[in-house]
Amino acid sequence: MSQTLLLVDDEEAILRSLARLFRNQGYELLTATSAAEALHLLELNDVQVILSDQRMPVMTGVEMLSLVRERYPEIIRMILSGYSDITAISDAVNKGNIYKFLFKPWDNDLLLENIRDAFERYGLTQKGAQFSRIYENTVEGIVITDQNTAIQAVNPAFTTITGYAPHEVIGKTPALLKSDEHPPAFFQEMWATLHEKGKWTGEIWNRRKNGEKYPEWLNITEIRDAQGRISQYVGLFNDVTEHKRNEEQLRYQAYHDALTGLPNRLLFGENLELALGQAERSGQVVAVLLMDLDRFKFVNDTFGHDYGDKLLVMVAERLRSVIRKGDTLARMGGDEFTLLLPTIRESDDIVRVIKKILHEFTRPFTIEKNDFIVTVSIGASIYPQDGNTPETVLKNADSAMYKAKEDGRNNYAFFTATMNEQMKRRIIVENELHKAIEGGELEVYYQPKQRLADGVVVGMEALVRWNHPVRGLVSPSEFIPIAESTGQIVPLGKFVLEEACRRTAAWNQAGLGNLQVAVNFSAYQLRDGDLLEIISNALKQSDLMPHQLEAELTESLVMQDVEASIEELVQLKRLGVSIAIDDFGTGYSSLSYLKRLPVDTLKVDQSFVRDVVSDQQDAELVRAIIGMAHGFKLKVVAEGVESVEQLEFLRQNGCDIIQGYWLARPMPAGDFAAFLSTGRTPFNGDAGG
């Protein structure tokens, strides 16, 4: 006889997946996308097993199978659901409306086994003549007792599952399998249901012969004689240990990060909601810390994802070492971690935890003999003062974290009301910047650089400006950090580079000078694999000589990873491009590294130039930088020159080039061309500022 399996699910993709799974299993397959369609197919076909979704429009799977039981009681009815509607399922199981309840996502082997079991059960209930064969071969354990529950017979599957041979149990009661996991009330209810309805179905924990406890899905049925008196009980059961293990594994995977083993966003959200509910009832305070690694992207992009993954695992271990019992540490994704502190007495408790975390990041992380200094920025928000919903508390912690980054990273910040406005402003700027790059709102300004030896303007620095159609000129300090954090710095930097090269080549060809243009490059651009090609194309398209382009990189950027920086700068030098180290003196350069870096120019940071006349330490520092640079045969550019006194100091101490307001402010291309044409310099008294 053919075995017909009816698959019912309102999602066609799932139906197709199930059909593929059962296609070569020897079943006649019928499919339906609704309960109504399924009931219609049952009228036209001889079906033995139904596998149905639970949640469907109009009529649920349980409701449909209740009707099936009334009309076709011999059909084996099973639910395959992504949701566990406990009340409906319990009611349906207890009433016998369904045979088994299975979960999505399913395990193919387990589902195939359950369907095979279902067809075997169909045969067991429909073909008494074949009972003996099924009894001997079914994977379900079978135990038959008399009316007093003394065991009369067991099948081989009973022995396989429990470990007891027939001679060890016959004459005894099933109580020898008792696990002591259930209270007396459990068995009282079971027997009450059995006597009332003639059967009982449910999950029960029993104990094997070796003492191991295991879960089984048990169906007990009363057998009555011709006079209606109970003569026997038949129990059929499956060992659902593997099924439960799969369920637990799926649940673990659904709620935990695969890489670090920490709770994920979903579990953190549930714990946060629970903590806020308890805090509301008890009047307690709850804190959320949102943590973001400051230099993770650099490690990940430079050394590869394998290094990045190892670093995340090490970070998770260090964070675990400082959390308290009852706290929830989670990885939210990427390099972002959260910490839930559900029982806080005062804000000092939060600060103590934060300082422990920051202290953990003072030690380098060692991966394959490479040491990495990775810091963390932490944002903190507190319930109820910073929000009364999980979403609000998390959002405000995120705002505080961004504030910590803006304040210099490796830092922490508590949420304040003004941060929401700042975050909104940041999002607006991010969206508008994207339009500005595409819409021609960006403009390159130029600030001249002058050689002190003869007063000749030898070049300029290209600086981007944003002419907003409504707000006017937007400060670079407002949009450049956003462009760097979002990756928009790449198209923005490409525009500046191409425009600067084009203008410089045109001015040189027009006889306005032999100019070299300096263009700033960020860490994001430097680590971008396309940077060399972008620079090469810009030079070719503009006909600018490579040495007439100077790549400016900050000292801190270069020193993040010196070995990687050396390799990248060598590739730039091979193009013929000049290289300058910007903001020199503000970082942590080593002379041994400086000697190896293929650079041409050091730019003294304006913070040292500003007080060079009034501060002896700054004066000595600038003298030392100039002397050291010349010793390495490097040129020195002094930034931020604003007075004749500063100018004279720099001239007397051998500085090569100056840049600053005393010479000229950054100006649009048209004004800069006029500046070059008039020849205004401090030496003829025409410039100032």
Closest CA to 327 of 300, 356, 299: 356
251 within some domain: no
Q: What angle do CA 9, 10, 14 make, to 5 degrees?
A: 55
At 377, which CATH number?
3.30.70.270
Look up residue 364 and give its two tokens: 């380098």
Task: Report the predicted TM-score, pTM, of the whole model to 2 decimal places.
Answer: 0.48
**Do 316 and 226 have their domain in common?**
no
**Do 93 and 190 have their domain in common?**
no
472-474 and 549-554 strand pairing: unpaired
- Measured in whole angstroms, how far is the alpha carbon of residue 646 from the centre of its chain? 51
Looking at residue 532, its amino acid is L
pLDDT, residue 191, reads 93
SS3 259: coil
pLDDT, residue 417, reads 64
**Do 394 and 504 have their domain in common?**
no
Distance CA 103, CA 248 (A): 12
73 within some domain: yes
45 within some domain: yes
At 521, which CATH number?
3.20.20.450
Of 130, 159, 193, the residue at which a domain comes to its end is 130
SS3 401: helix
Angle between helices 562-574 and 531-542 (to 10 degrees): 30
647 within some domain: yes
Backbone torsions φ then ψ of 184, nearest 5 degrees: -55, -35
**Do 656 and 564 have their domain in common?**
yes
CA dihedral 581, 444, 542, 636 (to 10 degrees): -20
Query: Which of 252-260's residues contact partners 24+ apart within 8 Å by CB, and which partners?
Result: 257/330, 257/331, 259/309, 259/312, 259/313, 259/331, 260/312, 260/313, 260/316, 260/331
Closest CA to 357 of 326, 327, 318: 318
**Do 191 and 114 have their domain in common?**
no
**Do 354 and 481 have their domain in common?**
no
Q: Which residues of the chain have pLDDT under 50?
A: 129, 588, 681-689
CA dihedral 606, 610, 614, 616 (to 10 degrees): -10
Domain around 209: 139-245
Quick: pLDDT tens for 107-120: 999 999 999 999 98
At 97, which CATH number?
3.40.50.2300
Question: 460 vs 162, 445, 673, 676, CA distance in Å?
Answer: 86, 10, 11, 11
CA dihedral 435, 436, 437, 438 (to 10 degrees): 50
252 within some domain: no
451 within some domain: yes
Distance CA 236, CA 233 (A): 10
**Do 29 and 113 have their domain in common?**
yes
**Do 443 and 408 have their domain in common?**
no
541 within some domain: yes
Of 86, 108, 130, the residue at which a domain comes to its end is 130
Quick: pLDDT tens for 551-584: 998 766 666 666 777 778 888 889 999 999 887 7
Distance CA 659, CA 673 (A): 17
**Do 376 and 301 have their domain in common?**
yes
684 within some domain: no
**Do 146 and 103 have their domain in common?**
no
At 226, which CATH number?
3.30.450.20
**Do 198 and 290 have their domain in common?**
no
DSSP codes, 61-116: HHHHHHHHHHH-TTSEEEEEESS--HHHHHHHHHTTS-SEEEESSPPHHHHHHHHH
**Do 190 and 217 have their domain in common?**
yes
pLDDT, residue 90, reads 67
Total domain count for the chain?
A: 4
Of 245, 275, 305, the residue at which a domain comes to its end is 245
Look up residue 103 and give its two tokens: 């979960």
